[in-house]
């Protein structure tokens, strides 16, 4: 019985650490997610000057433009990333990333993108 209790406690601790360990993972991975999904158009530093920016009909948003970014609520940013630009009245150049990113990753991206605005 004692052996079972030890295994159960160890299993619970491992499970708990796994859950705790993954919670901040999305926040830690936001920079990598941005690099993979966003930087090709929005640029490494969020200025809308990525290597693919010139191939688009519409210039990608400059996340460092604090005046413009302050007018866009997080819910709109989230929807644009998840469902694409057309879902929020923007051009189709902004693709929907719902097939590649879960909601937690998108929320982490919204937070990460906000960090480009340095007041």
CATH classification at residue 62? 1.10.760.10
- Which pLDDT tens digits describe the chain residue by residue (119 residues)? 444 433 333 333 333 333 333 334 555 699 999 999 999 999 999 999 999 999 999 999 999 999 999 999 999 999 999 999 999 999 999 999 999 999 999 999 999 999 999 87
Cβ–Cβ < 8 Å for 43, 59: no
Domain-located, residue 47: yes
Q: Which pairs count as long-range contacts for 34-42, CB under 8 Å and 24+ apart, including other chains?
A: 34/109, 34/112, 34/113, 37/97, 37/100, 37/101, 37/109, 38/109, 38/113, 41/93
Q: Which residues lie closer than 8 Å to 71 by C-beta, 6 or more apart?
A: none
Domain-located, residue 21: no
Range of the domain at 102: 26-114
């Amino acid at each position: 019985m004692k052996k079972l209790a030890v295994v159960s406690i160890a299993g619970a601790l491992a499970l708990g650490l796994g859950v705790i360990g993954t919670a901040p993972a999305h926040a830690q991975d936001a920079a990598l997610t941005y690099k993979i999904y966003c930087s090709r158009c929005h640029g490494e530093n969020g200025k809308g000057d990525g290597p693919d920016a010139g191939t688009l009909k519409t210039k990608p948003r400059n996340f460092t433009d604090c005046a413009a970014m302050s007018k866009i609520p997080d819910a709109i940013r989230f929807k644009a990333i998840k469902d694409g630009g057309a879902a929020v009245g923007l051009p189709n150049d902004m693709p929907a990333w719902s097939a590649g990113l879960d909601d937690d990753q998108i929320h982490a991206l919204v937070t990460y993108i906000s960090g480009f605005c340095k007041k």
